[in-house]
Amino acid sequence: MDRYFRIEEFIDGNLSQEESMRLKNELETNSDLAFELILRSEINKAIRDKNLMEFRDLILDQTHHQSSASALFNLQRDVLRTWHLAAASFILILVVGGLWFILSNKPFSTERLVSKYYKPAQSILQYRSLELNSDDALKEAFNFYQQNDYTIALKYFNSLENQITAKFYSGICYIELEQFDNAVKSFEFVINDKDNLFVEQAEWYLGLIYLMNNQKSQAIDQFNKIAKSDSFYEVQAKEILKYLN
C-alpha cells in the first residue's frame, strides 16, 4: 500500500489495529513521513473549516440583500427546513452575528480581528507516539513551547540558526512575546526559502503581524496575496479583507 494512501487511511480511521501500529512505529523513525502526517491532518482540517466558511458566506450574501426583520425570520425558516436542527441553529448564530456587524456599518477593530483569527501554531510534536529524529535542542524547544514558555523555547529554536522548522516556530514565539519585528524576519526567512512545509502558514502569520502592528496597508497587501492563491487560508484572508476594505 502506498505510504501516503496509508496516511489518509490512518487519519480516517480505516486501518486495522495491526496496520495502525505498523505505521506508528514507522513514524517514530521516519521524520519525512511524520511531517507528511502533520501536513495532511492540517490540510484536512482546513478543508472542513473552508467548507463551513463558504456556506456561511453564502448565507451572509443572501441576508445582506434583505432589509427587514421578517426577511431574517424567513431565512431562519428555510434553513431549518433544509438542515437538521443542530446544524441550522449553529449557522444561524453565525448569520445573525455577521449580519449585525454588516448592518451596523461598524468594522471589526484590529484587536477583534486578531482575537478572532490568531492562535499559536500547534507543536509538530503534539502526536503522543510521534518523535522526530532531530537535534535534542529542537525537542527541548518543543517541550517548552508546549508549556507556553516561549522565552525558553525561543532560546532553543534560535540555537538551531537557519533550520526551517526552528525559524517558523521562533516566529510564533516572537509573536507571543510581542517582538513583532523579529517575528517578521523569521517568517520572511521561511517564505523566501520556498521549498518547505511552512510557507503558507508563514504568509498567514505575517499578515496577522501586520494587523497586530496596525499596519493596515501592509496587512491588506498580504491578505490580498493569500486570497488570490490556492492557500488553504484563502477563505479566511478574503473574510478579513471584507473588514479591512
Q: Which domain CATH number covers 122?
A: 1.25.40.10
Residue partners of 35: CB distance under 8 A and separation at least 6: 124, 197
Question: Same domain, yes or no, for 69 and 131?
Answer: no
pLDDT digits (tens, 9 = 90+) for 63-105: 455 544 445 545 554 544 444 444 444 444 444 455 444 434 4
**Residues 130 and 28 sit within 8 Å (Cβ to Cβ):** yes
Range of the domain at 234: 117-244
Indicate whether 34 and 56 sit together in one domain: no
Which range in 8-17, 69-78, 161-170 is most confidently predicted, on average pLDDT? 161-170
Q: In this structure, are 121 and 94 located in the same domain?
A: no
Residue 112 lies in a domain: no
User: Do 99 and 124 share a structural domain?
Assistant: no
Q: Does residue 124 sit in the same domain as residue 190? A: yes
154, 197: one domain: yes
Q: What is the largest CA-CA distance in the chain?
A: 63
Tally the domains of the chain.
3
State pLDDT tens for residues 99-147.
444 434 445 578 888 889 999 999 886 543 444 445 688 899 999 999 9
pTM for the full predicted model: 0.57
Predicted pLDDT at 25: 77
pLDDT at 132: 46
Cα 208 to Cα 19: distance, rounded to the nearest angstrom: 40
44 lies in some domain: no
Query: Do both 124 and 238 map to the same domain?
Result: yes
164 has a pLDDT exceeding 50: yes
Q: Is residue 167 part of a domain?
A: yes
111 domain-assigned:
no
The pLDDT tens digits for 14-49 are 888 888 788 787 777 776 677 667 776 766 665 555
- Cα 42 to chain centroid, rounded: 8
Query: What confidence score (pLDDT) does residue 55 get?
Result: 53
Same domain assignment for residues 128 and 234 = yes
**pLDDT greater than 60 at residue 154:** yes
- Same-domain pairing of 75 and 189: no
Give 45-62 pLDDT, tens digit per residue.
655 555 555 555 555 555
Residue 22 inside a domain? The answer is: yes
Q: Are residues 75 and 149 in the same domain?
A: no
Task: Look up residue 243 and give its amino acid.
Answer: Y
pLDDT digits (tens, 9 = 90+) for 192-242: 998 899 999 999 999 999 999 999 999 999 999 999 999 989 999 999 999
pLDDT of res. 111: 86
Check whether residue 33 and residue 62 sit in a common domain.
no
Tell me, yes or no, whether 94 lies in a domain: yes
Q: What is the reported pLDDT for 228?
A: 96
Give me the torsion for CA of 10, 16, 22, 26, rounded to 10°.
0
The verdict on 126 and 224 lying in the same domain is yes
Is 54 domain-assigned?
A: yes
43: in domain: no
pLDDT at 244 over 50: yes
